[in-house]
Amino acid sequence: MTLLEISDLKTHFPTQSGIVRAVDTIDLSIRERETFGLIGETGCGKTVLGLTLMRLLHPTTTVEGTIRYRGKNLLTISEAEMRLIRGEEIAMILQNPTTSLNPVMRVGEQIAEAIRLHQGLRRRAAKEKAVEMLDSVRIPAASRRANEYPHEFSGGMKQRAMIAMGLACDPALIIADEPTKGLDVTIKAQITELIKETAKEKAMLLITHDLGVARALCDRIALMYAGELVEYAATEEIFENPLHPYTRGFLGSLPGNGLVPIPGMSPSLIDLPDGCRFHPRCSHAKAVCRKKHPELIEVEAGHFVRCFDA
């Protein structure tokens, strides 16, 4: 069963120096209870995609296409309807927990306020539920911790609190933006484990740089480059049979594979190269790659690639 279906999605920011095409024609669908990984270099538009799904971008942003969630087009419903979906149906765990928690509000209260809003619980009951949530993400002495401020939490604990906040109203879909970034190895393993448990019952869009985490958690993985998807398939298929040079490069930069970074830099989203967006950095680039923009084609059942070579 498809939970979320994105088609032809474009998110453009008009700025003084030109239009930033942060998300440029994305099609993908997420099934119920599926964990879908979104991978890509920094600045390729992953966070913007997440925020677009939540409709959290500034009103001056142009968003086109459709986002169908359980039959509703999220881009056309009213703001009031959208607010009921945020947090309750789709929750987003923003990247960087240190700046994403309100520094002058107790952590418990930050979780409880969403519960009060969406589940109509009284203050006391919501507070108890918040403690429960903190406990469920394995924060020790949760009832005491709930009364503390974010700066009293360690990095890992802040991330747990963010996850608890996302889970608080039992949403059907969670968008988790780089939940393991900046954590040391043991903490990362714990958080990964925690996400794995959560992901069993929920659909999740997991945005990450970390291929190891993606492999451990995701059912399917998509690679994003300069605002568009360049390849997606089931996790094992991506790792066993990567077809796009960008995917291969990305896998090659894994510590286990010799840490060879992809040469060059991602293009400016204002001034994208003609033809294939990856061609300036691609060692297999041919004449056609410079001229024509490749389409995303299904090379095998469920394996999509945007490359003339595949």
Partner 1 sequence: MHQINKLVYYFAILLIILSINFFLPRVMPGDPLSYLSDPGADMPARMTEEKRELLLEYYGLDKPISEQYISYMVGIIHGDLGWSIYYGAPVLEVILGRLKWTLLLVGTSTAIHVPLGILLGATSAWARGKKKDTGLLISILSISSFPSFFLGILLVIFFGIKLDLFPINGAQTAFATYSSPFGKIFDILHHLVLPATTLVISHIGGTYLLMRNSMLGVLGEDYIMTARAKGLSEQYILHRHALMNALLPIVTMTAMTVGFLIMGTIFVETVFAYPGIGNLLYNAVLYRDYPLLQGIFLFMTIAIVGANFIADTIYVRLDPRVKNE
Partner 2 sequence: MIEGRKILGSVGLGILAVFVIVAVLAPYIAPYNPHQMSRPMEHPSSRHLLGTNDIGNDILSEIIYGTRVSLFIAFVVSAISMLVGTSLGLIAGYFDKLGFVIMRVVDIFLTIPRLPLIIVIAASMRPSIWNLIAIFLIFGWTMTARIIRSEVLTLRSRYYIDATKMIGGSDCYILWRHILPNVIPLVVVQFIMEAIHVIFTEAGLSFLGLGDPVARSWGMVLHYAFECPIIYVSDVWMWWMLPPGLCIVLTVLGLTFVGYALEETLDPKLKSPAYGRGL
Min separation Cβ 89 and partner 2, Å? 22
The helix/strand/coil state of 165 is: helix
The label of the residue with tokens 């970074």 reads: 261
Min separation Cβ 13 and partner 2, Å? 8
Q: Which stretch binds partner 2 (CB under 8 A): 57-65, 195-203, 218-226, 229-237?
A: 57-65
Q: Which does 84 bind (CB under 5 to 8 A by kind): partner 2, ligand ATP, partner 1, none?
A: partner 1
Closer residue to partner 2, CB minimum distance, 61 or 268: 61
- Verify binding: residue 92, partner 1, rule CB under 8 A: yes
One-character DSSP codes across 28-62: EEEETT-EEEEE--TTSSHHHHHHHHHT-S-TTSE
Rounded distance, CA 270 to CA 19, Å?
6
Rounded distance, CA 78 to CA 104, Å?
31
Rounded distance, CA 131 to CA 125, Å?
10
- Verify binding: residue 56, partner 1, rule CB under 8 A: yes
Interface mask toward Mg ion for 31-50; x: CB under 5 A: ----------------x---
Q: Considering only CA atoms, which of 19, 38, 26, 14 is closest in space to residue 66?
A: 26
Burial class, 280, CB count within 10 angstroms (exposed 0-12 / middle 13-18 / buried 19+): middle
Q: Which ranges in 168-210 belong to alpha helices (H)?
A: 185-199
Closer residue to partner 2, CB minimum distance, 150 or 249: 150
The helix/strand/coil state of 310 is: coil
How many C-beta atoms surround the C-beta of residue 263 within 10 A?
A: 10
Q: What is the DSSP letter of 278?
A: T
Q: Which stretch binds partner 2 (CB under 8 A): 55-63, 154-162, 180-188, 233-241?
A: 55-63
- Binding partner 1 (rule: CB under 8 A), the pick from 54, 199, 222, 233 is 54
- Verify binding: residue 13, ligand ATP, rule CB under 6 A: yes
- Verify binding: residue 113, partner 1, rule CB under 8 A: yes
Rounded distance, CA 287 to CA 11, Å?
29
Q: Looking only at residues 85 through 114 of this chain, which bind Mg ion when binding is defined by CB under 5 A?
A: none
- Verify binding: residue 47, ligand ATP, rule CB under 6 A: yes
- Verify binding: residue 75, partner 2, rule CB under 8 A: no
Q: By the criterion CB under 5 A, which residues form the site for Mg ion? A: 47
Q: By the criterion CB under 8 A, which residues form the site for partner 2? A: 13, 16, 47-48, 51, 57-58, 60-61, 99
Q: By the criterion CB under 6 A, which residues form the site for ligand ATP? A: 13, 15, 20, 22, 40, 42-48, 95, 269
